[in-house]
Amino acid sequence: MGQPAPGQPGPGQPPGQVPNGYAPGGQPQAPPNGQVPGGQPQAGPTGTAQPGHPGTDQPIQPLRGEPPLTLYRNRQNTVLQPGTELDRFGDPDGNVMYAIRTPYNQRSLPPQWAGRNYFAYRVQRPVQVLSGTAVPWFEQPGGGTAYVLPASVDELLGDGTLVALSGNEAARPPMEG
């Protein structure tokens, strides 16, 4: 049995659960021909291969299940300093985060991800990351600052690079900004 067409549910998935631009199972698909929906141009990639795939000149890559680098423009390597606060919608097994309290619609994440667990973190020691600006996607404006970390949040918590925030420090961001 072949792969379903983009935007179509895979085997065992009810119709209407696969968002446009995502393959069955929720894996993001890169915009075609360097374009985002609506034909808006985006910055050329510094590396588009996923981890474990040849052909990338960017050593920091999103982990499996995270949005691909093609969904970020103005990508650059930078060092986050201690005290920087970040957050993410999703468990700590991923490595894509945003500046804390970035409104959800500026992240250009799939709408159903808004219901995922939300976590906030503080950088405890300098860490090199790939930063970029979310492109418009899923009928959202984008514009939020994303950070692709060199390892999963779990690993960076384990080695003391990150610490989890709680209480008022970890309040969910607004849906729109």
The model's pLDDT over 114-171, given as tens digits with 9 standing for 90+, comes to 999 999 999 999 999 999 999 999 999 999 999 999 999 999 999 999 999 998 888 9
Using the Cα atoms of residue 106, residue 108, residue 112 and residue 114 in order, give the sign of their dihedral. negative
Q: What is the pLDDT of residues 63-77, one digit of tens each?
A: 999 999 999 999 999
Token pair in block for residue 136: 């418009």
> Alpha-carbon distance 140 to 164, whole Å?
28
Q: What is the pTM of this model?
A: 0.69
